[in-house]
Structure 1
Amino acid sequence: MQQHSMLDYIKNVLQNLPTDWLNLTTHRLDIYNEDQAKTEFLNAFETLFKANNADASALHNLPTAYDYIRLGHPLSCVLEWVIANLNGLKAEQVISFSSQVTPILAILRKNLLDNKNTQICYTGHLPECFDADTIQQVYGYHFSLKQVETSDAISEFDGSTIFIGQQEDITQFQINQNSDFCINIHPDFGSIIVANGNDDYISEIQHVRRRETIAMTPINCHLVLNALVNNTSFSSKKENLTDNKTSVLNSISSITGAATKPLVGSSGLSIQYAIMMGLIHDAQDNHKGKAIKFIVPPNCYGGTNDQARRVAACLDHVEIVDLPVDGDNDMVQSIDRVLASIASQDAIPYIIAEIPTNPRVEVPNLEDLKAALSKIRYTPNGEAAVAPVFILDQTFCPNVLFLGEGKILSTVKTISYASGSKFPSGGLCTAGYCVGNSKTEGLMQKIEQHLLLCDNEATNLQYELLAKQLPSMNQRIEDAYQNTREFVNFIKNHLPEAKINFVSEELAEQGFTPSVFSLDLPTKGHTAEEKERYKRALNHKLINLMITKIPDESKYCVSYGQLKGCYWTIPATSTQGTTKEGDKDYIARVALSGNMDLDKHKEVFLEFVNSIS
């Protein structure tokens, strides 16, 4: 492939860029094949390249690259494809990160599990946030460091060699036969890693990007590609960052009523990862030798479930304990039972739970929850057991005040976090944030240390978008709830045999006003298998009807809290993708906004009801 013709083509692509490539955080699941993430998109993109077709309509009709931009997106795929061609590589060997540090951690993680040595060679200096001692002591990763003048100075090594380079043009790599991985880092954009003939690492690196951080953002990929094709400087704008950050932190403090400094990460899972590693660090400092138990609902959001288990897989003293919370299981009773068991082991309990739960939208009795978390339990030798830390995912209802002075969880060590891709940003970015009550100040300092160590703080644009959207969040939540309540009541009236999971009017009066409900459609059949098969087909029939009849508003998509429209998904095949099969929910989950044609949605839903009656 001739370099100049490729770059000329990319210049045309950038001129005709679909706006969705820069602005969407989520994409339709009905045009996405997860097992072909990135490859299906790039195969079709290469076909356009060979035909020299950069028309906007052709680009718009390309298959979805990833369903969610935290994992990757069209522009990250294009950037990786370009870099691969410039350096004589396959596109799958190139992976871009918003973080400078996390691709290093991805290699270290795999080598830890494979019991393989790692040496890190670098020119100049390592990223400022790279804390070698903490990475070795808390993450359990093993490596040696070696400063070199160039990649040519790297000698053979019994294990993996990572070469880290710093240069303005992060698209050009110094690939050496003794370098198994080359990473170019950039303070504005993040990093790009090349797996040099180490194909068995590629899926592991991608999975770290999926679970502990995010891909290089669309805006930054766009800036890098423009700099490359126009031969201009590789830099990003930073104006107003301080003002935007101050505005965001003030808004979060005001919305949550929490006493601690808010922390803002590049995604909800970036924040959750910092929480987990910060708590592990604190436990090692203050409860030496004790086992750590992360207590997690087995059917919660798949990212939470998967990430928790991935952390535990790396550390012998960390274990996951299931916490049944939905349906026939009561969250408070489960917590009480699990905490009693952990006290009997003299271990450290960290509870991760969603309120309301996902996808059943259930809220426990909060006074009972507070009592269960506050209860003093004893170890077998009669000493008071380590008190739990409650890690509350309140993404469904980020407006509920749990932590402030005098609030329900103000006296229990509680950290609250939310995915910013939902209501905080209105679906415009992936950033997430967390706050703690006054009892968690020391823990929050550790969490901030690990957020920065992983280079997972929110990006400049994410702060800018949150600064614009957070002030209107609570009003948008109220408007979306009103639409959701009206739609739920409509369904109850016209399809009364369906089971709807949504908050009661009484809970709504207490401030729980989510805009998400789950719909368990009526079924028929002679056996349990026939009934399940019929219901699953009915889910798809409903969703396909909605997105076909109302394509401008109804999407088959995992998100919610958007500024407009309505989103439909089946948790078992989307948000619970890595959850154990027996814990998955094959029901429809519906998320409404405050800006949508509700009457049209009622009309189409009634058409669905009439088609199955």
Structure 2
Amino acid sequence: MKENILKKQIQQVLEQMPADWLTLTTHRLDIYDESQAKTQFLAAFEELLQSDQISNQALAKLPTAYDYIRLGHPLSSVLEWTLGQLHGIPADQVISFSSKTAPILAILRKNLFLKKSTQILYTEDISHFFSEELIQGIYGYSFELLQVNPNEKLPKFEGSRVYISQKAPISELENPFNSDFVISTHEPWGSIIHVLGEENASYISEIQHVRRRETIAMTPIHCQQALKALNGEVEESTSDNLAADRKEQVLESIANITATDIKPLVASSGLSMQYAIMMGLVDEALEKHPGKAIKFIVPPNCYGGTNDQARRVAACLDQVEVVDLPVDAGNDMNQSLDRILEELAQQNAVSYIIAEIPTNPRVEVPDLDRLKEVLGKERQTAEGEVALEPVFILDQTFCPNVHFLGEGETLSGIPAISYASGSKFPSGGECTAGYCAANLKAEGLMEKIALHLALCDNEATEEQYEILARQLPSMNQRIQKAYENTREFVNFIQDKLPTTKINFVSEDLAQRGFTPSVFSLDLPTKGETEEERESYKRALNLELINLMITEIPEESKFCVSYGQLKGCYWTVPATSTQGTTKEGDKDYIVRASVSHNIDLNKHKEVFLKFVKEWC
């Protein structure tokens, strides 16, 4: 009886859910409380079910669930809650993934630090998504892999026992061996991990963090299909004859946009792509340069996900270390990079550079001629031998239209890879899929990157390819129009509030192709002490943002994204994109991102109101 009521309620939710539950890729910070995250959403969701007042309007008013669809979203939360109800376990102990491999890696990572043994059980072959050799040899994880018969009696195991279920319907929790974790895989949706027993509750946050940094949650469309399947609806296969054509269209578009000849790769998110790049390069270094230290050179104040992931990889592998690259706020990227590469050359280390151009959130571009010179310089080891040339990994999400990799361009002289987050300009905020491209000198690295993208089961989904095939052809036009709107808005702000410091590209850089649509503001402040001035500025930041989203709710959002299809997004990087960055490296400034489709006159009008009221 309870199950029938539950299914009826879920059917109502699916019929009444807001349209953006399927299309939203980033949260709205104005209705988001990170400290409560999924708990707050589900508490309100349960109250709504109990009131029997399920409607489109009521569902739209629910608090934001999690932050990105990488970490979770309304439909993944509903799916996990429903499965928890069916199986009698807390909702937070059910975690969905778009990847089949990632939840296994999450447990192995946790047990690496606990120095705890792991036994992985399976009945059907898992070699198509799990490589024992690579995961032990490259990722540094140890485990016992055991194929078993469902009726087999197993001796007690001291450690974590993981069971991989591949054929059970999504409504069933198959656990014949009393395992600590059950991971059920479901093509083409991904997988669901069930954390069983209170003694394993400490794994939940670690598993969720892997989902946040190295992969994504099960996508909204797949969660919708899974919920329909729970209600007995047979979903038609999403695969069709156009799927291969769409993928080829996307790969061709990326090659054209980046002006490269090497076949690109497309992942489920920008961080999924970065993880494949990092692990592919670690694999390459271990194979080609055994015994040498591996150094990832990373700006300490860059996007928090990049920072966090790089350090997470280094934490797992003794031979990998992160080296800070100061690039902003008075630090010159080229000077910092030249110094660091000289030091690492002396150590005969393998050097991998991860950097954003323009930088985030200060929107700075280094002297590109000097950068080319620094990267191309031949350096010596302490023994007088020629040092290994570095590999440059460029996050060009802010300006994916700029050509860095072609013959004669800034990064053509050394192996270089560029990548971009797909939730920004490539998809216009409609999906998270990210991509990477390589220059000719990095062609050999792409095979390793592709290998680890497949190993982690992080390739873009068919639905993501469909969105990119639709959106990529117009990307450069959207970038140009968004830049023109941004330049006009920046000039207006400079004129009306000349005491504010605006971080944006110069007209000269724009002529060279750097046309971002994001800028940041250091608003004028006051106070007797530095603490008072900083406190006043932080309060003023929020006054500006709150005025914008209140006065223009149909366009202005408190959100971390950009490259969107409409309006203007506002955020404070220190509290959003730099969430895991060290406190001293955070930027408590306002960052705004402008789209190609915006009521610019209305935004000017509201900004002028802010100036008159607060400045």
* Structure-2 residue corresponding to 1:256: 258
Q: For each residue in 1:547-580, what CA deviation from the matched residue of structure 2 results, as whole angstroms up to 9, or x when unmatched?
A: 0000000000000001111000000000000000
Q: State the AA in 1 paired with 2:509.
A: L
Q: Mind listing any 5+ residue stretches in structure 1 that lack a counterpart?
A: none
Q: For each residue in 1:392-415, what CA deviation from the matched residue of structure 2 results, as whole angstroms up to 9, or x when unmatched?
A: 000000000010122221122110
Is 1:100 aligned with 2:100? yes
TM superposition shift of 1:151: 7.4
Identical columns (%): 65
* Structure-2 residue corresponding to 1:491: 493
Q: 1:100 to 1:127 in 2, by over 3 A?
A: farther
TM superposition shift of 1:170: 2.4
Is 1:201 aligned with 2:203? yes
Is the contact made by 1:100 and 1:127 (CA closer than 8 Å) also made in structure 2? Answer: no
TM superposition shift of 1:168: 5.4
- For 1:235 and 1:153, the matched residues in 2 are separated by 37
TM superposition shift of 1:246: 0.3
Q: For each residue in 1:77-129, what CA deviation from the matched residue of structure 2 results, as whole angstroms up to 9, or x when unmatched?
A: 00000111111100000000000000000001111111111110012111513
- For 1:416 and 1:151, the matched residues in 2 are separated by 50
* Structure-1 residue corresponding to 2:554: 552
- For 1:171 and 1:379, the matched residues in 2 are separated by 60
Q: State the AA in 2 paired with 1:325.
A: V
Task: Map 1:8-19 onto structure 2 (within 5 A).
Answer: 8-19=8-19
Of 53-62 and 484-493, more deviation after overlay is shown by 53-62
* Structure-1 residue corresponding to 2:421: 419
TM superposition shift of 1:26: 1.4
Q: State the AA in 2 paired with 1:157.
A: F
- For 1:526 and 1:177, the matched residues in 2 are separated by 67
* Structure-1 residue corresponding to 2:171: 171
**Match among 303, 311, 328 for residue 309 of structure 1:** 311
- For 1:177 and 1:283, the matched residues in 2 are separated by 39
Task: Map 1:446-525 onto structure 2 (within 5 A).
Answer: 446-525=448-527
Is the contact made by 1:247 and 1:467 (CA closer than 8 Å) also made in structure 2? Answer: yes
Q: 1:452 to 1:432 in 2, by over 3 A?
A: same
* Structure-2 residue corresponding to 1:215: 217
* Structure-2 residue corresponding to 1:292: 294
- For 1:500 and 1:18, the matched residues in 2 are separated by 37
Instruction: Give the SS at the match of 1:193.
Output: strand
* Structure-2 residue corresponding to 1:34: 34
Instruction: Give the SS at the match of 1:67.
Output: coil
Q: For each residue in 1:525-556, what CA deviation from the matched residue of structure 2 results, as whole angstroms up to 9, or x when unmatched?
A: 00000000000000000000000000000000
Is the contact made by 1:156 and 1:178 (CA closer than 8 Å) also made in structure 2? Answer: no
- For 1:32 and 1:88, the matched residues in 2 are separated by 28
* Structure-1 residue corresponding to 2:386: 384
* Structure-2 residue corresponding to 1:275: 277
Q: State the AA in 1 paired with 2:285.
A: A
TM superposition shift of 1:150: 2.0
- For 2:173 and 2:240, the matched residues in 1 are separated by 26
Q: State the AA in 2 paired with 1:125.
A: D
Q: 1:479 to 1:500 in 2, by over 3 A?
A: same
Of 521-530 and 221-230, more deviation after overlay is shown by 221-230
- For 2:129 and 2:607, the matched residues in 1 are separated by 52
Instruction: Give the SS at the match of 2:165.
Output: strand
Task: Map 1:49-68 onto structure 2 (within 5 A).
Answer: 49-68=49-68
Q: State the AA in 1 paired with 2:218.
A: M
TM superposition shift of 1:238: 3.9
Task: Map 1:305-384 onto structure 2 (within 5 A).
Answer: 305-384=307-386
**Match among 432, 440, 445 for residue 442 of structure 2:** 440
Is the contact made by 2:228 and 2:235 (CA closer than 8 Å) also made in structure 1? Answer: no
TM superposition shift of 1:40: 0.4
TM superposition shift of 1:177: 6.4
Q: For each residue in 1:432-467, what CA deviation from the matched residue of structure 2 results, as whole angstroms up to 9, or x when unmatched?
A: 000110001111110000000000000010000000
Q: State the AA in 2 paired with 1:208.
A: V
* Structure-1 residue corresponding to 2:588: 586
* Structure-1 residue corresponding to 2:597: 595
Q: State the AA in 2 paired with 1:102.
A: A
Of 52-61 and 91-100, more deviation after overlay is shown by 52-61
- For 1:374 and 1:488, the matched residues in 2 are separated by 36
- For 1:41 and 1:570, the matched residues in 2 are separated by 23
- For 1:127 and 1:603, the matched residues in 2 are separated by 60
Q: 1:534 to 1:410 in 2, by over 3 A?
A: same
- For 1:12 and 1:391, the matched residues in 2 are separated by 47
Is the contact made by 1:326 and 1:362 (CA closer than 8 Å) also made in structure 2? Answer: yes
- For 1:449 and 1:188, the matched residues in 2 are separated by 19
- For 1:300 and 1:125, the matched residues in 2 are separated by 41
- For 2:410 and 2:483, the matched residues in 1 are separated by 23
Instruction: Give the SS at the match of 2:437.
Output: strand
Instruction: Give the SS at the match of 1:589.
Output: strand
Is the contact made by 2:557 and 2:569 (CA closer than 8 Å) also made in structure 1? Answer: yes
- For 1:367 and 1:187, the matched residues in 2 are separated by 48
* Structure-1 residue corresponding to 2:111: 111
TM superposition shift of 1:357: 0.3
Is the contact made by 1:227 and 1:234 (CA closer than 8 Å) also made in structure 2? Answer: no
TM superposition shift of 1:495: 0.2
Is the contact made by 2:34 and 2:66 (CA closer than 8 Å) also made in structure 1? Answer: yes
Q: 1:233 to 1:610 in 2, by over 3 A?
A: closer
Instruction: Give the SS at the match of 2:554.
Output: coil
Of 169-178 and 470-479, more deviation after overlay is shown by 169-178
Of 160-169 and 598-607, more deviation after overlay is shown by 160-169
- For 1:551 and 1:89, the matched residues in 2 are separated by 39
- For 1:247 and 1:435, the matched residues in 2 are separated by 15
Q: For each residue in 1:120-140, what CA deviation from the matched residue of structure 2 results, as whole angstroms up to 9, or x when unmatched?
A: 001211151311101100000
Q: State the AA in 2 paired with 1:593.
A: S
TM superposition shift of 1:227: 1.5
Q: State the AA in 2 paired with 1:365.
A: D
- For 1:47 and 1:486, the matched residues in 2 are separated by 46
Of 129-138 and 248-257, more deviation after overlay is shown by 129-138
- For 2:473 and 2:66, the matched residues in 1 are separated by 30
- For 2:120 and 2:278, the matched residues in 1 are separated by 25
Instruction: Give the SS at the match of 1:384.
Output: coil
Is the contact made by 1:154 and 1:178 (CA closer than 8 Å) also made in structure 2? Answer: no
- For 2:20 and 2:386, the matched residues in 1 are separated by 55
* Structure-2 residue corresponding to 1:135: 135
Q: For each residue in 1:253-302, what CA deviation from the matched residue of structure 2 results, as whole angstroms up to 9, or x when unmatched?
A: 00001121100000000000000000000000000000101000000000
- For 1:511 and 1:153, the matched residues in 2 are separated by 65
